[in-house]
């Protein structure tokens, strides 16, 4: 299996954290329910491949995301209190109760930068979502949990169109001010471009949020995810969400296709001499194995090229 030639760029960060979302965001939109055994092996393989963080599941009500109805069973089968953090998405206090019952130490909340998506995804208005998150975050912090915050529709909304940068910054600041240690900025429908990425990051910096508190979550709907990741990397961002094999999407946004493939991201970072700790060969084998269980080829360019 070939690997990229390494040509270091001294102007880039020396190390990047790849925040693997495949078992949660990657699988949540699959129409066919994936067996628990496959999910357990997927998490195990990702950890063995060196992914430093693996988001494993969600405590969203099974009615809304049937694929993740086995969240408790999965947590019983993986080492979610071990050295590799295994965050769980928690939408509200009911979800937090489930997380606490399982001894989960790392959670994520999922907000929206737009009114329409907040109503579709959370059944709350843009402002009402914060009232839902506040007690959840406060209790989680009191229990010693780490809380990460996602913001969706940061670059465009299929119902509202372009999203004002200042609106995204306002939502993000409110979530950080609640106590989230990190804010993941989501290009949920993949419409962002490199200039837009830079402008959004500049605006967060101007509002007092440094790049080290931000993560980027790109979708590849228009083929821009990797270019956007490079723009954010050059800006100074050092955490990137990605999904093994490029799986995923959002069940509440039809135009949200696959996430940035972890393999494609790691190939680029390896070539730039940016350390991730990820074994690309093992990761590719994992996505090839998963593609066999899903019954279709991986959308990842690197997985296909090395397969």
pLDDT digits (tens, 9 = 90+) for 24-78: 999 998 888 899 999 999 999 999 999 999 999 999 988 889 999 999 999 999 9
Burial (0-12, 13-18, 19+ Cβ within 10 Å), 288: middle
Does residue 209 form part of some domain? yes
**Is 1 within a domain?**
no
What is the overall mean pLDDT for the chain?
94
pLDDT at 210: 98
pLDDT of residue 123: 85
Q: pLDDT higher for 1 or 237? A: 237
Query: Cα(78)–Cα(72) distance, rounded to whole angstroms?
Result: 10
Identify whether 2 is part of a domain: no
Residues 6+ apart with CB under 8 A from 26: 243, 244, 245, 247, 248, 259
What is the model's pLDDT at position 252?
A: 44
Catalytic residue annotation: 250
Looking at residue 249, its pLDDT comes to: 55
Please report whether residue 11 resides in a domain: no
* 214 within some domain: yes
Q: Cα separation of 288 and 64, whole Å? A: 28
- State the total domains in the chain: 1
Let me know if residue 73 belongs to a domain. yes
pLDDT at 251: 44
Q: Is 103 helix (H, G, I), strand (E, B) or coil?
A: coil
Is residue 5 in a domain?
no
Mean pLDDT along residues 142-165: 97
Domain limits for position 156: 17-306
What integer pLDDT is reported at residue 257 of this predicted model? 64
Instruction: Let me know if residue 226 belongs to a domain.
Output: yes
Instruction: Please check whether residue 42 is in contact with residue 292, taking contact to mean a CB–CB distance below 8 angstroms.
Output: no
For residue 143, pLDDT beyond 60: yes
Q: How far is CA 52 from CA 84, 125, 128, in A?
A: 6, 35, 34
Share of the chain above pLDDT 70, in %: 97
SS3 of 240-278: the string is: EEEEHHHCCCECCECCCCCECEHHHHHHHHHHCCCECCC
CATH at residue 172? 3.20.20.70
């Amino acid at each position: 299996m070939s690997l990229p030639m390494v040509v270091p760029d001294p102007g880039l960060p020396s190390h990047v954290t790849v925040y693997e979302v495949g078992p949660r965001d990657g699988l949540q939109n699959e129409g066919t329910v994936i067996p628990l055994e496959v999910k357990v092996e997927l998490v195990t393989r990702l950890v063995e491949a060196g992914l430093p963080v693996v988001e494993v599941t969600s405590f969203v009500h099974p009615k809304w995301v049937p694929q993740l109805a086995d969240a408790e069973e999965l947590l019983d089968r993986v080492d979610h209190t071990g050295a590799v953090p295994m965050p769980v998405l928690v939408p509200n206090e009911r979800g937090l109760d489930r997380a606490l019952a399982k001894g989960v130490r790392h959670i994520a909340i999922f907000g929206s930068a737009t009114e329409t998506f907040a109503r579709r995804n959370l059944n709350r208005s843009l402002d009402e979502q914060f009232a839902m998150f506040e007690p959840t975050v406060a209790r989680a912090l009191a229990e010693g949990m780490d809380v990460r915050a996602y913001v969706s529709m940061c670059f465009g909304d299929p119902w509202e169109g372009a999203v004002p940068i200042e609106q995204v910054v306002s939502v993000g600041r409110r979530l950080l001010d609640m106590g989230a240690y990190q804010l993941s900025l989501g290009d949920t429908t993949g419409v962002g471009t490199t200039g837009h990425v830079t402008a959004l990051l500049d605006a967060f910096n101007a509002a007092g949020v440094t790049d080290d508190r931000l993560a980027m979550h790109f979708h590849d709907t228009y083929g821009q995810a990797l270019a956007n990741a490079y723009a954010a990397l050059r800006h100074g961002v050092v955490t990137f969400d990605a999904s093994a094999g490029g799986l995923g999407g959002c069940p509440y946004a039809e135009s949200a296709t696959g996430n940035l493939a972890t393999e494609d991201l790691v190939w680029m970072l390896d070539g730039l001499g940016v350390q991730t700790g990820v074994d690309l060969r093992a990761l590719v084998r994992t996505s090839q194995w998963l593609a066999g269980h899903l019954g279709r080829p991986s959308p990842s360019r690197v997985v296909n090229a090395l397969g």
